[in-house]
Amino acid sequence: MIETEKKEERVLLIGVELQGMDSFDLSMEELASLAKTAGAVVVDSYRQKREKYDSKTFVGSGKLEEIALMVDAEEITTVIVNNRLTPRQNVNLEEVLGVKVIDRMQLILDIFAMRARSHEGKLQVHLAQLKYLLPRLVGQGIMLSRQAGGIGSRGPGESQLELNRRSVRNQITDIERQLKVVEKNRATVREKRLESSTFKIGLIGYTNAGKSTIMNILTSKTQYEADELFATLDATTKSIHLGGNLQVTLTDTVGFIQDLPTELVSSFKSTLEESKHVDLLVHVIDASNPYHEEHEKTVLSIMKDLDMEDIPH
């Protein structure tokens, strides 16, 4: 097991903008918000325009020297890259910079690990983390960045991750077995709900758009809500009486974000499917957010990937 210490992480963000890239500024702002959500102190950010990512060090050797000086001068403890790094890039960056380096995907997985509350949610997050980590394990299975602890090393519920290669494979098999049982039970409950004539409504939207707030207002019940990313992970379904004999169910589930790790989409399939079996989808958009149009496009794109386009919304 890897021991982690509770200490302030001074973070430097790195982003590379390729030609024709859309929403780069939004993506970098989100990266800063994600880092803060994970408990980091964002000290500075480094941006570079390139035609393509450097296959060895992501930013190119010349710029990497500048970043190394910045890391030393600002006493940076963690560098977060706004992209999915290859295992090779990750190791090379850590060797040059001398500090822990994680990517956007790893950061999101870490936040999901912090947020997971239900048994199913913890299993889903743990599975996603292990699938992400497996190709990144080196030697006996300890990736360099894991030795520092902190952001990127947390398991579900902020427990610790076991990073032995054989152990990871065994854990993946075991968790997939457990999830099949959980998903079977969820499917049984869902089928009973589908057999009902009750009209079913699902809330969908970008993370922190206000879905849980709407859920609480309409149901007069308390579901955790906060002005932070991924405050809600578990799907919640509640009944609402709209007057007369009209009774409906309302389902709230995890919010979406740009570049949502494929490992999470796969692991949270059963949770996301709660929003597929409804009569109406209510797309919640925070119009006060300057990037609300980009948020809407992202949600619609993910809906398409999940085969949810045909559901009235």
Q: Is 50 exceeded by the pLDDT of residue 30?
A: yes
Provide mean pLDDT across the span 231-236.
Answer: 69
> Which has more pLDDT, 302 or 15?
15
Residue 161 or 70, more confident: 70
Give SS3 for 256: strand
Contact 296, 313 (CB under 8 A): no
Q: How does pLDDT run across 58-70, given as a tens digit for each residue? A: 998 889 999 999 9
Burial of 37 (0-12, 13-18, 19+ CB in 10 A): buried
CATH of 10-111, one of 3.40.50.11060, 1.10.3430.10, 3.40.50.1970, 3.40.630.40: 3.40.50.11060
Q: How many residues does the chain have?
A: 313
pTM tops 0.85 = no
CA distances from 170 to 126, 130, 132, 162, 243 (A): 13, 10, 15, 11, 52
SS3 251: strand
Mean pLDDT to the nearest integer, 19-27? 86
Residue 40 has what pLDDT?
94
Q: Write the DSSP assignment of 160-208 as a string of letters.
A: B----HHHHHHHHHHHHHHHHHHHHHHHHHHHHHHHS-SEEEEEEEBTT
What is the β-pairing status of strands 236-241 and 247-252? antiparallel
Average pLDDT, the chain: 82
CATH 3.40.50.300 holds for 196-306: yes
Spatial distance between the Cα atoms of 170 and 109, rounded to a whole number of angstroms: 20
Mean pLDDT of 144-154: 62
